[in-house]
Homo-oligomer: A and B are copies of this chain.
């Protein structure tokens, strides 16, 4: 009996996600250029050629990987965007950030790889902006509501700081005192 269309779709999606898992892992571990298509295929348990059945190119693959990660990340923060962050929502936002950081180490490695590699950054710059700007806007509004004079600078500063903490955590997750730092942030920024 031939497979149903549904089954085909399931297989395709399974393969696709196997490839993406493999690629995410390897890119994060070894970097973009040092990871070959062959390695990704091997780790995914498929053949080299098949990857091109699911992705157009290596660049396409990393681009989709990053877009994907962004979407997952920002979806989590979909506050009922009625108006302005409350303090409670803000605290929740911070908690969530650290949660996501710890459970998606690979993706965050990729993210910083991207920020630091002009060649790769170009591929996702646009998307990154699309996502970050609303976030900065929300933060900025939060600070406005707190009566702060230069709310956008505050927002960008907050974002940068989070970046820095994530980066340091990623480079040395064993020793970076991430819990204490979360507390410090809460005390200082809420």
A interface with B by C-beta (< 8 Å): 2, 29-34, 47, 109, 112-113, 115-121, 150, 152-154, 156-157, 159-168, 171, 176-177, 180-181, 184-185, 188
Partner of A119, one of B31, B115, B153, B163: B31
Interchain CB contact under 8 A, B171 and A121: yes
A159 to chain B, nearest CB (A): 7
Which B residues touch A31, using CB under 8 A?
Answer: 33, 116-120
Interchain CB contact under 8 A, B160 and A167: yes
A95 to chain B, nearest CB (A): 17
Name 17 extra pairs, CB < 8 A, besides A112-B116, A164-B167. Answer: A31-B33, A31-B116, A31-B117, A33-B34, A109-B116, A116-B116, A150-B177, A152-B177, A156-B176, A156-B177, A156-B181, A157-B180, A157-B184, A157-B185, A160-B165, A160-B168, A163-B167
Copies in the complex: 4
Interchain CB contact under 8 A, B115 and A171: yes
A50 to chain B, nearest CB (A): 10
Which B residues touch A121, using CB under 8 A?
Answer: 171
Interchain CB contact under 8 A, B113 and A112: no
Which B residues touch A160, using CB under 8 A?
Answer: 161, 164-165, 167-168, 176, 181
Which B residues touch A118, using CB under 8 A?
Answer: 29-31, 34
Partner of A180, one of B29, B115, B150: B150
A114 to chain B, nearest CB (A): 8
Interchain CB contact under 8 A, A33 and B30: no
Q: 10 closest pairs, A vs B, by CB?
A: A164-B164, A33-B33, A153-B180, A116-B116, A163-B164, A160-B168, A160-B164, A112-B116, A153-B177, A161-B161
Kindly state the separation between the CA atoms of A118 and B26 in the bound complex, as whole angstroms.
11
Kindly state the separation between the CA atoms of A34 and B117 in the bound complex, as whole angstroms.
9
